[in-house]
Amino acid sequence: MIQTTSVSDAWLGRTAKLEYDNAIEFAGHLNWDKAADKPDILPGMVVKSLGNKELALYDGTGTPFGLAAIFVAPKYGKRGINQLDEDGNFTAIVGTNNTTVRVWNDALSTEFKKAFADDKGTLTPVYAGKDGKLTTKDSGSGVVGVLNEFDDDSVVIQLYAPTASATPAAGGSTTPTA
């Protein structure tokens, strides 16, 4: 369910969804304090596991786990979009080394946008930025995937499994646990 009071924001929530193939939808609980001034979480931003199915926006600590599949964005658009239910249930998309995900520009760092605007090409390593956005700058998070294709509005990334190293595994996949 999309919670917003703006018709244009509801349209954004329906159209700016994450598109993915061969992915695992991981259901968990978002560690989110509504009272705190938190950054918006947009589909395609990187989340980390805190254990016991608890997820949080990646902040440069821990290990990237997957990509947010829903909006938790009280400041996004005109009046915000929130798809988090009252119990904090949250969905992340987790890669299996064969997963491709289309991520819209809003979930990408400025550096990422510049890299594909300069036509750096496909197979560029993709990292998790300290703000949870995808970036082409190595932030010490390890590679979360590689760029497959890009256009003016979005990019397609091939994700690596959460346990994969900077080099993609030959075939095979892992099943994530949080």
| Domains defined along the chain, listed by start | 7-159 (2.40.300)
Taking the C-alpha atoms of residue 108 and residue 72, their distance in angstroms, rounded to an integer, is 16
Name the average pLDDT for the chain: 76
| pTM listed for this prediction | 0.78
In angstroms, how far apart are the furthest CA atoms of the chain?
47
pLDDT tens for the chain, residues 1 to 178: 444 444 444 444 444 567 888 888 899 999 876 656 778 888 999 999 999 999 999 999 988 999 999 888 777 776 777 777 878 889 899 988 788 999 988 888 887 777 665 555 667 889 999 999 998 888 788 888 888 888 878 888 998 877 533 333 333 333 444 5
DSSP conformation letters of 9-51: HHHHHHHS--EEES-EEEEEEE---TTS-PPPB-TT-EEEEEE
* pLDDT tens figures, 77-97: 767 777 778 788 898 999 887
Q: Are 2 and 81 in contact (CB under 8 A)?
A: yes
